[in-house]
Amino acid sequence: MNVGDKLILNKSNVSKFFSSLREEMRLVAPKRRFAGDVICDVVDSPEEIVWEYGHDIYPPGKRYLFPHYEDMFTYRFGEQVGMEIAADSPKQAIIGIRSCDVTAVRFQERFFTSPIVDPFYAERSRNTVLFSLVCNRPPKKECFCICCDAGPYLESGFDVQLTDLGDRFLYEIGSEKGLEATKNREEYLEPCSDDDIAERKRIELEADSFFQTASYIAKAIIYITGDEVPDEVWEELGSTCFRCAACTNLCPICTCYTVDDVPQGNELFTRCRSWDSCQYAGFTREASGHNPRSTFGSRVKRRFYHKASFQYIMRDGRHGCVGCGRCVSACLTKLDLPSVVKRIRRAMHDYIEPKSKPTAFLQ
Give the mean pLDDT of 209-217.
Answer: 83
Q: What is the mean pLDDT of the chain?
A: 91
**Lowest mean pLDDT segment, chosen from 63-67, 85-89, 190-194:** 85-89
Of 363, 337, 137, 316, nearest to 224 (Cα)? Answer: 337
- pLDDT tens digits along 328-352: 999 999 999 999 999 998 888 754 4
Give the start-to-end residue ranges of the domains of the chain.
Answer: 6-67+89-208, 217-258+285-362
- Reply yes or no on whether the pLDDT at 353 is more than 60: no
pLDDT of residue 363: 41
List all residues 6 or more positions away from 285 whose beta carbon is below 8 Å from its beta carbon: 291
- Reply yes or no on whether the pLDDT at 131 is more than 80: yes
- Reply yes or no on whether the pLDDT at 36 is more than 90: no
pLDDT of residue 312: 83
- Reply yes or no on whether the pLDDT at 360 is more than 60: no
- Reply yes or no on whether the pLDDT at 84 is more than 90: no
Count of other CB atoms within 10 angstroms of residue 212:
11
- Reply yes or no on whether the pLDDT at 266 is more than 80: yes
pLDDT of residue 237: 94
| Cross-strand bridge partners of residue 190 | 8
- Reply yes or no on whether the pLDDT at 165 is more than 50: yes
Give the mean pLDDT of 85-107.
Answer: 92
pLDDT of residue 346: 86
State the burial class of residue 34 (Cβ atoms within 10 Å of its Cβ: 0-12, 13-18, 19+).
exposed
How confident is residue 80, by pLDDT bands cut at 50, 70 and 90? low
Give the mean pLDDT of 38-51.
Answer: 95
- Strand residues in the chain grouped as ranges (E): 6-10, 26-33, 37-43, 69-76, 82-85, 92-98, 128-133, 160-164, 168-173, 189-191, 257-265, 268-275
- Reply yes or no on whether the pLDDT at 354 is more than 70: no
Q: How far is CA 278 from CA 231, 297, 317, in A?
A: 18, 12, 21
- Reply yes or no on whether the pLDDT at 314 is more than 80: yes
- pLDDT tens digits along 103-121: 999 999 999 998 899 999 9
- Reply yes or no on whether the pLDDT at 87 is more than 90: no
Give the mean pLDDT of 287-316.
Answer: 91
pLDDT of residue 90: 92
- Reply yes or no on whether the pLDDT at 315 is more than 90: no
pLDDT of residue 79: 60
pLDDT of residue 355: 47
Higher-confidence residue of 254 and 34: namely 254
- Reply yes or no on whether the pLDDT at 31 is more than 80: yes
pLDDT of residue 352: 45
pLDDT of residue 356: 43
Distance CA 135, CA 152 (A): 5
With beta carbons less than 8 A apart as the criterion, state whether 10 and 168 touch. Answer: yes
